[in-house]
Each structure stands twice: as structure tokens, then as C-alpha cells.
Structure 1
């Protein structure tokens, strides 16, 4: 792997979501909570440990 590929922006069709802790958009969102019927809460990888766990889609 080349350094340029690690520093490149995410592809435009990549799922981007705001982090529920810091509020910044992340290209690597981690699902931390599913609120029925269709709301999903995401966190960035750095902040996922700061989130209180909640049910995700396959647990609801």
C-alpha cells in the first residue's frame, strides 16, 4: 500500500455520516444505535468508545 492511498479522500459514493460525539463527517462511520423505524446513529472510529451502546439493526 502506498502512502498516497492512505491520505486520499474517500470515494464520492462512500457512505459518509456525522459522528454523534464530535459532529464531524466521517467516511468510516460505525453504527452505534438504531432508532426505529429508520434512524441510524453513527460515530467516527476515534469516538466510538465514548458512545453508550444501544441496539443496532440486527438486535432490534
Structure 2
């Protein structure tokens, strides 16, 4: 009984650990992609409202 419980818990913990690691990687990739997207002026104007409202252009 105890060894069966331990084996089931080990499998469950392994699945949970894998899910958490995938979640961390996905969040990191989304952060990197988001930073790349907002580095382009057209995308920044579309996504960030304060960029339009400040009234100061980044271009000389």
C-alpha cells in the first residue's frame, strides 16, 4: 500500500514539476516577445496609450 502511494505521488509530483517548468518558460518567452514588440514604434503606438498622450515624439 505505501509503495503504491509513493509511486503515485512521485508520478503526480513529476507531472506538476513539468507543468510548472513549462509555465515558467512560457512566461519568460512571452516577456521577451513583449519587450521586442514594444521596441518597434508602430507597435508601441498601438499598444501603449501613454505614448500617444505624452505628445513628445521620440524622433528628432
Q: Shorter-chain TM-score: which interval?
A: under 0.3
| Structure number with higher strand proportion | 1
Larger Rg: 2
Scaled by the length of structure 2, the TM-score of the pair is 0.23
Scaled by the length of structure 1, the TM-score of the pair is 0.23
Higher relative contact order by CA 8 Å / sep ≥ 6: 1 or 2? Answer: 1
| Structure number with higher helix proportion | 2
